Chains A and B, each alone.
Chain A
Amino acid sequence: MLSLRLPIPIENTLITPPPKSNNKNTYNFSLSPYLHSSYSCNQANRFLTVTNVAIHNDGNSVGSADTVAEPFPEELNAEPLPKHVAVIMDGNGRWAKMKNLMPSAGHQAGAEALKNMVKLCASWGIKVLTVFAFSTDNWVRPKVEVDFLMSLFEKTINSEIDIFQREGIRISVIGDSSRLPKSLLRMIEYAEESTKENSKLQLIVAVSYSGKYDVAQACKSVAKKVKDGILDLEEINEDIIEKELETNCTEFPNPDLLIRTSGELRVSNFLLWQLAYTELYFNRALWPDFGKEEFVEALSSFQQRKRRFGGR
């Protein structure tokens, strides 16, 4: 069948459309999609104006004394809102390179963006936020960068614990802890212990994590239970494996929405089992520039998805 039609209206719905804005601070994208006729006209309304969020390191962080909770945006409906949002915080290095800064400055800016994201989630009633801070694949990066990241994690957790306590945020860390520095491990243990009763928002930070590792260690636990006679072979099912995954630290282990920044269209070994029915959202903005407007756009996209879970 003749299927090549010119001009070629290629639209990859994984990439958010470029913003229509006269604002000098917006990125100029070369891709200008044609609306496919099968889209509803609601899609046109999704072309929100996006401005770059300037990263101000003015010492304000989540829940500081004079910070007020963010009001719920008017553009969004109250329902449906994802209970669990997962984020692949990609683009710190490229952000720093664009601004002629060291990669460490990019990661620092990324940490500020994360603090902002935590504040938004806590304000808008999202129950769980999982962030992909460091993958098992990232260990191949230069030692200087890896050491900086480890110390950045430690410093950030240390500086935010009191705020998490005040704001009712619980922190959990998942991943293979065997390669992490001892001081960071101690900080993580302290933070998890001191915030474990908090229930407003659960922040899950994936450090030295990979989806395959998570499934593999869950399979290991299941097999050990079979060996110890706690479980029969016939009883092994999806629920049993799910209970052994590292995301068993939360009531909502499966993300409803996954956001990946910087335009890369893949999940990079993050939460493989848990992403079975997750709505994927990809944004071209680099992580340090991902702010409130971009998050609202992601949530708006989520609210327009029709989730069928295989049924009608």
Chain B
Amino acid sequence: MEISKGYTVHLFEGLYCYLRRFLFRVISVGAVPYHIAFIMDGNRRFAKKMNLAEGEGHKAGFSALLSILRYCYELGVKYVTVYAFSIDNFKRKPKDVQNLMELMRQKIEELLHQESIINEYGVRLHFIGNISMLSEPVKVAVDKAMRVTAHNNHRVLVICVAYTSRDEMVHAVEESCKEKWSHLTQEPSKVVKNDKLNGLFENKIEKHSVLPSSCYCSCSCSLVKLVDVERNMYMAVAPDPDILIRTSGEARLSNFLLWQAGTCPLYAPSALWPEIGLRHLVFAVLNFQKYYLYLESKKEKKHKHKLF
């Protein structure tokens, strides 16, 4: 009886998997987002709602993450970014932070198991943020995970830990200035007197930005360009997201991907993160496809405007 029950469950799961893949084939007729970003909000509220210990909420959240990753990669999404831990979260009680660090370490180890989704889909892991703020065991686990998956090139999972967008921008500016400064001090002959490290930005993206003529150094290598800043951003490992999804119904960005998500559509289902399901992803992608057509027509207009 139990064997036939197990067989029935297995059969239904197989059927569901088949139907899901068929659904994704249909959706893929339209544009498929290249990169989806998630703010995984609502784990603690889920635990409270289900009368569980708080740690159980985060564990349920991790299971939900694995499901969503599977759906995304099956659909053909190449990059997935998740907001796992913000610098602001260090403000929580020390015991909570410690528990979260330990959970993070455990789950990173789990991700590296042979049969995990990471190996199934050839996923490269990137942990981005102010990694020095993490506890030592987590840092070790992070380094190992990135090293072990460095050769994977089919899919990418970017996990933001000890991350805020503003910290990312500050870090990028610092690094760009340091780069240019060390470049100049290594090649003094190229430096024009009284003009070393103009450190001024040439805004290549915004063509109509005006820079006074005095800003331009005769040695172009000393100019810190916007591309330098973007190159030094933590998120330089991935293109800008096509959709940003935040669960639990809160409608705010919480210092996540402020630079990168300036023009991408936002979606805030009221479901808590452990409750997120296939239907939310499908809805978000269908909305994206609607917006994609508008975006393409806008790009065409911009291109025509440049020609004339």
Q: Does A1 contact B (CB under 8 A)?
A: yes
What string of 1s and 0s marks CB contacts (under 8 Å) between A123-152 and chain B? 000000000000011011000000000000
Please give, as numbers and ranges, the residues of chain B lying within 8 Å of A38 by CB-CB distance: 45, 49, 248-249, 270-272, 275
Q: How large is the interface on A (under 10, 10 to 19, 20 to 34, 35 or more residues)?
A: 35 or more
- Given contact pairs A272-B262, A280-B252, A12 touches B267 in the complex (Cβ within 8 A): yes
Taking the nearest CB of chain A, how far is it from the CB of B257, in angstroms?
10
Please give, as numbers and ranges, the residues of chain A lying within 8 Å of B250 by CB-CB distance: 13, 305-306
B88 engages A267 (CB within 8 Å): no
Taking the nearest CB of chain A, how far is it from the CB of B29, in angstroms?
20
List the one stretch of A3-11, A52-60, A160-168, A197-205 in contact with chain B.
A3-11
A211 engages B166 (CB within 8 Å): no
The CA-CA distance from A220 to B181 in the complex, in Å, is 15
A215 engages B259 (CB within 8 Å): yes
B265 engages A266 (CB within 8 Å): yes
B253 engages A275 (CB within 8 Å): yes
Residue from A136, A223, A273, A309 in contact with B258 in the complex, judged by beta carbons closer than 8 Å: A273
Q: Does A95 contact B (CB under 8 A)?
A: no
What string of 1s and 0s marks CB contacts (under 8 Å) between A208-222 and chain B? 101111011101101
A10 engages B283 (CB within 8 Å): yes
If A1-B67, A4-B16, A266-B264 are given as contacts, then 12 extra A-B residue pairs at C-beta distance below 8 Å, sorted by A number, are A1-B277, A11-B249, A38-B45, A136-B206, A210-B206, A216-B201, A220-B200, A266-B265, A269-B263, A278-B253, A310-B86, A310-B255
| B residues adjacent to A (C-beta < 8 A) | 13, 16, 20, 45, 49, 63, 67, 86-89, 91-93, 96, 164-167, 169-170, 173-174, 176-178, 181, 196-201, 203, 205-206, 208-211, 224, 226, 229, 248-255, 258-259, 261-272, 275-280, 283, 287, 291, 298, 301-302, 305
Sampled A-B contacts (14; CB under 8 Å): A1-B277, A3-B277, A3-B279, A36-B249, A38-B249, A178-B208, A216-B205, A241-B173, A269-B263, A276-B166, A309-B91, A310-B87, A311-B89, A312-B91
